[in-house]
Structure 1
Amino acid sequence: MAKKIALISFCTPTFNNSGAASALPYHLALGAKDGGRCDIEIWTYNLNNVDKAGIKKAEEELGAVIHLLPVPAWYRWMFKLHLSILRVFLHFPLLAYFRLDKAAVRTVNEYNPDIVWIYGEELAGLAACFPESDRIVTMPDSESLYYHRVLATDFMTLRLSQVLRYGLAYWQYRSMDRQKSIDGVRYHFVGEADTAFYKGINPASDAVFLRHPHYAWRPRTISFNKPRIRILFAGRYDIFCQHGSDDLLRAIMSAEELRSSYEITFLGRGWERWCDRLRQARWTVNHIIFAPDYIEEIQRHDIQINAIDLGTGTKGKVLDALANGLLAFGTPLALENIDVDNGKSCIVYHTAAEAVGILKEIAAGSARYEAIAEAGRKAVLGPSHDNVMVAKQLFRF
């Protein structure tokens, strides 16, 4: 008999992230549906502002009814009146103060779900509204761990204002994790360290790590381009990769012998300064702000470099690269929580000098690294990152 799942989410699930991390619940719900073991209805605050057409599309693709939850008036007015600074006086993060009104609780209970599935760690406390159902909270990352890592990072704590800001956020999320944890609720993470950190706060909790499912992919023949191998930097130039990318690109630019062997493409916003610098140094460079067909675009390239030195959980763009046959080349944080092994199915580097040395090896002979890219694709397209298999484990089908 099919299980009935009621999903309660701060965002409306969408195939790709739209205004929030909205793709993970979509693909887990799709995996549960494709596994043929559930019916699902969705209650969402729609904080990612998906329009009516997008909501209808998600309903059709997931075979689900989507109910819109009212956003609290205090939340709307806080931003209209530019009062968000008041959050510094709160014990928990802002979204942790969202509540379900009696009408919403009643409609969920009338659906009579076997499982109440809550998406977003700030909404974890809503599990207390449904003591009669099995309850799962997909966090999916640990914000407590994120701010813990930030506070341990030199370049993010150069000013007292940064320490105070990130210290407050760490205290709020850690307080929430400690006080909103409920016995009998399963807490689901897509990061192994995230899970361990949460269990360190709540040793008796049922916290589980399941690998992040891959999203879209298409078949392709893996053969690096000639005469220049194509390197891709995918994603915005932001705090998660700025420091690491600056170090790496300075080292690459100084290795003039690589210039005739590679061309570099930046896909995302904020890379203008590096485009100018590399062009001035006579590198072949492309900059794409937005790709209408993301998969088609990334498959034009051979190697994706992710110089991530801040973050938690699983990096979706790295999964996309692996699934679509690119050689994933990145820092330990970029590849964490993905079922790949350094030197066998991906390349992990620790310093910019080490990365440049590997790029020289690839330029001298790419066959070994094409095989690593093939192994990476095989690993990510296997069962550990398959949305049906992950959904079976998550919902205990």
Structure 2
Amino acid sequence: MRLILISLFTPTFNNCRAASALPYHLISSVKKSFSASINVYSYNINELDTAQIEQVEKELNIRIHLLDKPKWLKMMMKLHLVFFRVFLKYPLYSYCTLPQKYIKSIKKTRSDIIWIYGEELAGHSKYFEGSKCIVTMPDCESLYYYRMLRQPWATMSLLQIMKYSFAYWQYKSLEKRFCEKDVIYHFVGKEDADFFKSMNGQANSLFMRHPLYAYNSEKTIKFHQPKIKLLFTGRYDFYCQHGSDDFLSELEKNCNGLSSYFEITFLGKGWEMWSEKLHRAGFYSHNICFAPDYIVELQKHDIQVNAIDVGTGTKGKVLDGIANGLLIIGTPYALENISVKNGESCVMVSNGIDFIQSLYAIKKNIFLYEKIAKEGQKKVLLEHNTMAIARNLFGIIN
């Protein structure tokens, strides 16, 4: 198989300043499944340096060609004039063009598939009419802003409402303008694919599970004693701040009943305040800003908590936790699009009170929740298998 990838981001093993790991792992699996020859054309907006790009080329046995962004766009970025995007009908990077010399070069390869990664580049499919084309979005951005506008805590000011409304209009305009009936639009979110289809009735939208990246399935799933190890992962940021504050406030209130049974670790930036508050309340609590080996650190714990408030697609760190044998306690947005079921292979909670009730239930019946963790790992290793997803995605076009 001959495959051309045109991407906003240069692929990397782990996400590097963008969602750059998904194409990396799909490329790796495609090469194993189809003995594929792959050339990558990247705008490199995640700004990998020459040495990093050469390393990726070596790891994947591919060739990466760097594409220039428009001069006016580079000037805007250099002078920090990005606020001028309010005068644009479409999102900023959708104005990246593909020079004729590259279009001609790509066409000469007579590739089996033209694969485009990044919603803003969806319009590039017009350069290759008659070719088999897949656009991996991977999320529907208009759905993200639609959801934001439904959140009371995210629309407390007129400025917020205007910001999200404008972004929603930009992405919705983009998705309607560049949708082609002969192109496959690939999503890692079921709701994303459905939302895109609802706006573009002729669209060939395709949902496939998010593939796994790195995991170690050899971990023995048995909770630590005398204290079960709880882990909060990811950056304490806009996506989880509201929900995490709710969870952790309730945890602080219930210190007397729970501190003898659970210890708390925060793995990521921004959690220092909460780590200190829980420590003062009586919990054993500490914060790790960065772990040299994320998977090894992850597997030192028993339960992962993700209070994600908003988002689309699949939450990678949640998927990582389940695959690596941790019981996941998460909100509906944290667990959406992952092949698990509440009470059987995960624990889904909606607020801080539900979260505390789940912890009391766990301490009373540890064996049951160890079993749920095992079932969760079993399900995602099967349903999110990267090799199978790559074969299905790039085989379906035939």
Q: CA deviation at 1:37?
A: 4.4
Residue aligned with 2:129, SS: coil
Residue pair 1:121, 1:137 contacting (<8 A) in 2 also: yes
Report the Cα distance in structure 2 between the residues aligned to 1:146 and 1:315, rounded to whole angstroms: 13
Partner of 2:235: 236
Report the Cα distance in structure 2 between the residues aligned to 1:224 and 1:46, rounded to whole angstroms: 42
Partner of residue 176 from structure 2, selected from 168, 172, 178? 178
Report the Cα distance in structure 2 between the residues aligned to 1:366 and 1:82, rounded to whole angstroms: 53
Matched to 2:247, the amino acid is: L
Report the Cα distance in structure 2 between the residues aligned to 1:64 and 1:106, rounded to whole angstroms: 20
CA displacement 1:253-293 (0-9 Å, x = unmatched): 11121011101111111111111211111111010111000
Structure 1, unmatched stretches of 5+, are none
Residue aligned with 1:148, SS: helix
Partner of 2:125: 127
Note if 1:369 corresponds to 2:365. no
Partner of 2:112: 114
Note if 1:249 corresponds to 2:248. yes
Report the Cα distance in structure 2 between the residues aligned to 1:93 and 1:300, rounded to whole angstroms: 41
Residues 233-312 of structure 1: pairs in structure 2 closer than 5 A: 233-255=232-254, 256-312=256-312
Report the Cα distance in structure 1 between the residues aligned to 2:198 and 2:164, rounded to whole angstroms: 20
Report which stretch shifted further, 236-245 or 347-356.
347-356
Matched to 2:392, the amino acid is: Q
Q: Structure 1-normalised TM-score?
A: 0.98
Report the Cα distance in structure 2 between the residues aligned to 1:41 and 1:343, rounded to whole angstroms: 44
CA displacement 1:27-56 (0-9 Å, x = unmatched): 111111111342211110111111222212
Report the Cα distance in structure 1 between the residues aligned to 2:67 and 2:89, rounded to whole angstroms: 24
Q: CA deviation at 1:351?
A: 2.4
Partner of 2:79: 81
Residue pair 1:41, 1:64 contacting (<8 A) in 2 also: yes
Note if 1:391 corresponds to 2:387. no
Residue pair 1:42, 1:66 contacting (<8 A) in 2 also: yes
Q: CA deviation at 1:116?
A: 0.3
Residue aligned with 1:17, SS: coil
Report the Cα distance in structure 2 between the residues aligned to 1:110 and 1:286, rounded to whole angstroms: 57
Q: CA deviation at 1:85?
A: 1.0
Partner of residue 37 from structure 2, selected from 33, 36, 39? 39
Partner of 2:220: 221
Q: Structure 2-normalised TM-score?
A: 0.97
Structure 2, unmatched stretches of 5+, are none
Number of equivalences: 394
Partner of 2:319: 319
Matched to 1:388, the amino acid is: M
State the Cα RMSD in Å: 1.0
CA displacement 1:294-313 (0-9 Å, x = unmatched): 00000000000000111010
Partner of 1:70: 68
Report the Cα distance in structure 1 between the residues aligned to 2:313 and 2:80, rounded to whole angstroms: 31
Report the Cα distance in structure 1 between the residues aligned to 2:7 and 2:102, rounded to whole angstroms: 13
Percent of aligned positions that are identical: 49
Q: CA deviation at 1:80?
A: 1.7
CA displacement 1:99-156 (0-9 Å, x = unmatched): 0011111221122211000000000000100113100000000110000000000000
Residues 12-51 of structure 1: pairs in structure 2 closer than 5 A: 12-51=10-49
Report the Cα distance in structure 1 between the residues aligned to 2:368 and 2:35, rounded to whole angstroms: 42
Residue aligned with 2:395, SS: coil
Report which stretch shifted further, 71-80 or 4-13.
71-80
Residues 139-158 of structure 1: pairs in structure 2 closer than 5 A: 139-158=137-156
Matched to 1:100, the amino acid is: L
Report the Cα distance in structure 1 between the residues aligned to 2:32 and 2:372, rounded to whole angstroms: 31
Residue pair 2:243, 2:351 contacting (<8 A) in 1 also: no
Residue pair 2:114, 2:132 contacting (<8 A) in 1 also: yes
Residue pair 1:30, 1:387 contacting (<8 A) in 2 also: no
Matched to 1:35, the amino acid is: S
Residue aligned with 1:214, SS: coil
Matched to 2:328, the amino acid is: A
CA displacement 1:337-377 (0-9 Å, x = unmatched): 00111111111112221211110111123111111111111
Residue pair 2:69, 2:97 contacting (<8 A) in 1 also: no
Note if 1:343 corresponds to 2:343. yes
Residue aligned with 1:238, SS: coil
Report the Cα distance in structure 1 between the residues aligned to 2:349 and 2:252, rounded to whole angstroms: 17
CA displacement 1:75-117 (0-9 Å, x = unmatched): 1100222221110011000011110011111221122211000
Report which stretch shifted further, 193-202 or 387-396.
387-396
Report the Cα distance in structure 1 between the residues aligned to 2:204 and 2:169, rounded to whole angstroms: 22
Matched to 2:241, the amino acid is: Q
Report the Cα distance in structure 2 between the residues aligned to 1:380 and 1:52, rounded to whole angstroms: 35
Residue pair 1:304, 1:327 contacting (<8 A) in 2 also: yes
